[in-house]
Amino acid sequence: MKTLPAVAACALALATLPVQAGKNANLKLEQGVYKMAAKDPAYGPRVPINGPVIKVYAESGTTYNHVANTHKKLPFLTKYTASCSGKRKVSSVSVKLAGETASGSDKGGGFETGYAQIKVPYSGIAGLAPVSWCNHHLKTLSLEHNRSKKQIVKKGFTLYMPDVAEAQGTVFCSHNILKGAVDGDKAKLGVWVYCAANPNVDRPKPGTSTRPGKPDVGETTSIFKSATLTAVDTTLVGKSPQRLQLVGNITVTGAGTIKAQMVGSGGFESPVRTIAFDKAGTQQMRFTHYVRQQEPGKTLSAGAGGGDVGKKNGWVVLKVWYEVRNNIAKAKKQYTTKKLNYTVDFNPQPKRMQLKKPE
């Protein structure tokens, strides 16, 4: 690894030779591969042992608010692949990020691959918002895992934020009196955020009373988000019974189970179903309701035409049962969709043919 003065010296030497940009030189720059920690965090990905990791602390049990070690530099690792055509050799490879520069070795070959590490001040990367990132993801984890924010903060979690910085690389190629060549490339680099665990969030602060007070209820959470009910066709025509095909869509924000049932006029009730979700998303509940002109146990008088006569109107709703919880209790709640109205014409009147009078 060379320092900045060595890169400047190499550039000065090349300045005495004709230089061609984009010809006879090629550079590919990308984020380097870090050695990761052996231990898996409670939530989130592993973090690199010697990489750009930002640590954030939570003074309370529900909010992150302090970025640690902002006076230290963040070590970014880049990987480069450089090549020079003809008899030209790689003179140097330099990588620049946030005003800091590092350079690769000059082995004197026509092809070279290696790593360049750049240590950048925390303040040199624009747009970093680790406190906001931690608090936003804290809420997401609480909903996804049906845990209070305080329970998540006790264990901590990690995040990977891609493309927060851009490195600029340059390769110089030269050989005696041949024209020099130069090429450049850019690479998007990411950072890891460790939203630190705070196992003491439930302990009273020094000097405060240890008498039991009002319990911390915390935020009430549930995986249920929404439910809708539709039908393939709500206007049916024909002899009894008619098939009313119902479709219920149930959306949740995380893993868990939901119970659902379709209920309608005339005492209609579908079986209660338990729907399991392994992640956030939407699942369908389908059911065919056979609508009959005559309900069981009732007598139907035939009209003039005989058989099934007249129209029948009805409605169906989708009922959903789900669980809500906080730090001290849990309870069942019910959600009911708006009524889905339908009409069945069991004996539509046939169209009469009109005969033309003979001329």
Q: What is the pLDDT of residues 87-111, one digit of tens each?
A: 888 888 999 998 899 887 667 788 8
Q: Rounded to 5 degrees, what are φ and ψ at 15?
A: -65, -20
What is residue 329's predicted lDDT score, i.e. its pLDDT? 79
What is residue 32's predicted lDDT score, i.e. its pLDDT? 92
Q: Could you give the angle at the alpha carbon of 118 between the alpha carbons of 117 and 122, nearest 5°?
A: 135
The helix/strand/coil state of 75 is strand
Question: What letter represents residue 345's amino acid?
Answer: D
Separation CA 347–CA 309 (nearest Å): 5
> pLDDT tens digit string along 201-224?
766 665 555 555 566 666 778 899
What is residue 347's predicted lDDT score, i.e. its pLDDT? 78
What is residue 217's predicted lDDT score, i.e. its pLDDT? 65
Whether the bond into 348 is cis, omega within 30 of 0: no
Q: Could you give the angle at the alpha carbon of 39 between the alpha carbons of 33 and 44, nearest 5°?
A: 75
- Number of alpha carbons in the 13 Å side-chain half-sphere of residue 154: 11
Q: Give every CB contact of residue 168 below 8 A, 6+ residues apart in sequence.
A: 29, 95, 96, 97, 184, 185, 186
What is residue 61's predicted lDDT score, i.e. its pLDDT? 78
What is residue 209's predicted lDDT score, i.e. its pLDDT? 54
Give the CATH class of 224-293+309-345: mainly beta
Q: What is the pTM of this model?
A: 0.53
Where do the structural domains in the chain lie, given as residue ranges? 4-195, 224-293+309-345
What is residue 22's predicted lDDT score, i.e. its pLDDT? 63
Q: Give me the average pLDDT of each 10-residue run along the chain (359 residues).
A: 40 45 84 91 92 91 90 93 88 90 77 90 88 94 89 93 93 80 92 91 61 64 92 89 94 93 93 94 93 64 44 94 84 93 83 57
Question: What letter represents residue 111's amino acid?
Answer: F
What is residue 206's predicted lDDT score, i.e. its pLDDT? 59
Residue 69 exposed, middle or buried by CB count within 10 Å (0-12, 13-18, 19+): exposed
